[in-house]
Chains A and B, each alone.
Chain A
Amino acid sequence: NAGVTQTPKFRVLKTGQSMTLLCAQDMNHEYMYWYRQDPGMGLRLIHYSVGEGTTAKGEVPDGYNVSRLKKQNFLLGLESAAPSQTSVYFCASSYSLGGSLSYEQYFGPGTRLTVT
């Protein structure tokens, strides 16, 4: 099993450009998350999904959109990139156990995005 994978690993954008980050998991997890991590800080939740076809806002959703058309994929889009969106983006997934959501989230390797 590959676990959680993220594409691309690195990307440089110019202000105003758009892009999509792809997250894929092969563990059949119901829940998926997108976080961003800025230097010296913890992770902040951008958007999350509790199942195929559903999405919800996290702590810092402005400037981002997401889609979960397939259970195994969770896409994060930036419609008009800004320098403030320079960050490392992590995707994660999690599962339900006996009707309760696990506290164990599996993280991908991250995407380092620079907006100039």
Chain B
Amino acid sequence: LAKTTQPISMDSYEGQEVNITCSHNNIATNDYITWYQQFPSQGPRFIIQGYKTKVTNEVASLFIPADRKSSTLSLPRVSLSDTAVYYCLVGSTDNQGGKLIFGQGTELSVKP
């Protein structure tokens, strides 16, 4: 299973765009990249997933270069409520019942 590396923490200010990069050098052909958000005392919440190029939904964008060895989660115009831990996951649900590996995550702090 591919191991991921993310910054432990990041700081930002309200209204800024935040980019969190995840490194996954040994990603496998069948692996997808998924991001989750976790607030204190809550379970994680799915944000976005992708395989290659760019994916966008109503809350975030995910950029994946051609070699897929890294990915960047982009949060446009963050607010205080975006303060949370963000997890990058790499894996395939083709086996082991959808086993996904959660790393340590990136703790994002948004300041006024």
Contact A90 B104 (CB under 8 A): no
B103: A residues at CB distance < 8 A: 42
Query: Within residues 40 to 58 of chain A, which ones have a CB less than 8 A from any CB in chain B?
Result: 40-45, 48-50, 56, 58
Max chain B C-beta neighbours (<10 A), residue from A56, A103, A108: A103
B41: A residues at CB distance < 8 A: 109-110
**What is the predominant secondary structure among interface residues of chain B facing chain A?**
loop
Please, what's the 1-or-0 string for A78-113, where 1 marks a CB less than 8 Å from any CB in chain B?
Answer: 000000000000101010000011111111111000
The distance in angstroms between the C-alpha atoms of A33 and B97, with both chains bound, is 9
Max chain A C-beta neighbours (<10 A), residue from B46, B94, B97, B99: B97
B side interface size, CB within 8 A = 23
A100: B residues at CB distance < 8 A: 93
Please, what's the 1-or-0 string for B56-100, where 1 marks a CB less than 8 Å from any CB in chain A?
Answer: 000000000000000000000000000000010100011011111
B46: A residues at CB distance < 8 A: 103-106
The reply on A31 being an interface residue by CB < 8 A is: yes
Least CB distance from A83 to B in Å reads 22
Contact A31/B98 with A103-B34, A103-B49, A107-B43 known, Cβ cut-off 8 Å: yes
Please give the residue numbers on chain A whose beta carbons come within 8 Å of chain B beta carbons, in ascending order.
4, 31, 33, 35, 40-45, 48-50, 56, 58-59, 90, 92, 94, 100-110
10 cross-chain pairs, A with B, having the tightest CB-CB distances, nearest first: A107-B43, A42-B102, A101-B93, A43-B102, A104-B46, A101-B98, A50-B97, A103-B34, A48-B97, A103-B49
